[in-house]
A = this chain, B = another copy of it.
Amino acid sequence: MEKQVFKEFLKKKGLKFTKERAVILKEVFSYHGHFDPDELLTKMRKKGLRVSKASIYRTLPLLLESGLIEEVEKIDKHAHYEHTFGHGHHDHMICMKCGKVIELFSDALEGLQEELCKKENFKGIRHVLEIRGYCKKCIGDRKIDIEGRHDRVHPTIFHR
């Protein structure tokens, strides 16, 4: 269970399992999809869970380092995460028109990456793959522009 994983991780680093870290962990694992630090803070505030912005920004890197969450969608100005413990890693396709996020996983893809690492004597720990383009629906909407690459690089809508 994620709480145990986090506790052990912290102990091994000589860090403490505080109330704040516990409640942040719980909140993060109550979500299904992607989230960002500000969302996390706002939602916790609404529920009456009191943690400071600073603690959120301090805890997320620890969760990341412990492998309990991953960073996703590094496109926007701010960070996005999702918890992966118990779900398994996956990568993303992101529509540059409507912001739709398609999750993808492929053993072949993961395997190939491992091979490539081996070839370079590199010990791969984690990775982020994001494919940007246009979803089925948006290809239909605007064929011409798509061929000509004339979209905004950064889509407006991003969360889900």
Min Cβ gap A143→B in Å is: 10
Residues of B within 8 A of A112 (CB): 106, 108-109, 112
Question: By the criterion CB–CB under 8 Å, are A131 and B127 in contact?
Answer: yes
Given the interface pairs A13-B150, A112-B112, the reply to whether A132 lies near B121 with Cβ below 8 Å is no
Question: By the criterion CB–CB under 8 Å, are A122 and B134 in contact?
Answer: yes
Residues of B within 8 A of A148 (CB): 12
Residues of B within 8 A of A74 (CB): 74-75, 128
Question: By the criterion CB–CB under 8 Å, are A125 and B149 in contact?
Answer: yes
Residues of B within 8 A of A108 (CB): 112
Is A157 interfacial (CB 8 A cutoff)? Answer: no
Residues of B within 8 A of A93 (CB): 116-117, 120, 122, 124
**Which of these, B109, B131, B152, B153, contacts A124 with CB under 8 Å?**
B131
Please name the residue on chain B nearest to A96 by beta carbon.
B125
Given the interface pairs A109-B112, A109-B116, A116-B109, the reply to whether A146 lies near B123 with Cβ below 8 Å is yes
Interface centre among A104, A127, A131 (most CB of B within 10 A): A131
> Which residues of A are in contact with B by a Cβ distance under 8 Å?
12-13, 61, 64-67, 74-75, 93, 95-96, 102, 104, 106, 108-109, 112-113, 116-117, 120-136, 139, 146, 148-154
